[in-house]
Amino acid sequence: MSKIGKKIITLPEDIKVEIVGQAVTVKGPKGQLSVELHPSVAIKSAEGQLTLSVSNPENRKQRALWGTFRSLVQNAVTGVSAGFERTLEISGVGYRASVAAGKLILNIGFSHPVELPVPSGLEVKVEKSIITVSGTNKQEVGQFAALIRSQKKPEPYKGKGIKYAEEVIRRKAGKVVKSVGAG
């Protein structure tokens, strides 16, 4: 049995789920998402709960698919009800970010500003040195946050760069200069 796959998905009151064949469409106050299930994964809806199952739970590949698709459906339910959010911090002298005309503009120490087009379905806010990426699709939010971070990864000596808010950067000691004239 898959530990994650056998868990029941409880639906909030304002969420509606439509199951047509292998397509699961979840509608909520923040929008609509759909998940296409694998042919060996089955889904059942009853009394505000969703349960997923596979034809052969002893098969290792089917157990993996079971847990994966249960997580995808759960993320769709969470996304349309509460949404997902990733927070990044910019640190460094003169490093700035702004949002203009559907683009995130980063001034991060290069000779030119870095412009990243914001994907549709995502919302990006900038307050001082904090960038917040939010949306309904967990994969898209994480992917765009990773793209922003990859533009200037945090370095371990001075801590300059773009990092996730919860990320801890292990700092290294710089070069140690020996004094001249000793010994």
Per-domain residue ranges of the chain: 9-81, 84-164
Q: What are phi and psi of 117, to 5 degrees?
A: -70, 130
Q: Do domains 9-81 and 84-164 have the same CATH topology?
A: yes
What gap in Å lies between CA 59 and CA 35, rounded to an integer?
Answer: 23
* Token representation of residue 125: 């806010």
pLDDT recorded at residue 178: 76
Q: Which CATH number applies to 9-81: 3.90.930.12, 1.10.150.120, 3.10.580.10, 1.10.1740.10?
A: 3.90.930.12
pLDDT recorded at residue 127: 95
pTM for the full model? Answer: 0.89
Q: Is the dihedral of CA 130, 71, 1, 40 positive or negative?
A: negative
pLDDT recorded at residue 181: 65
> What homologous superfamily does CATH list for 84-164?
Ribosomal protein L6 (3.90.930.12)
pLDDT recorded at residue 180: 73
Cα separation of the two ends of the chain: 70
- How far is CA 103 from each of CA 99, 148, 157, rounded to the nearest angstrom? 6, 12, 30
pLDDT recorded at residue 53: 94
pLDDT recorded at residue 183: 54
- Are residues 136 and 79 in contact, defined by beta-carbon separation less than 8 angstroms? yes
pLDDT recorded at residue 2: 78
Give pLDDT tens digits along the chain (183 positions). 678 999 999 999 999 999 999 999 999 999 999 999 999 999 999 989 999 999 999 999 999 999 999 999 999 999 999 999 999 999 999 999 999 999 999 999 999 999 999 999 999 999 999 999 999 999 999 999 999 999 999 999 998 999 999 999 999 988 888 777 655
- Are residues 73 and 99 in contact, defined by beta-carbon separation less than 8 angstroms? no
pLDDT recorded at residue 162: 97
- Are residues 26 and 9 in contact, defined by beta-carbon separation less than 8 angstroms? no
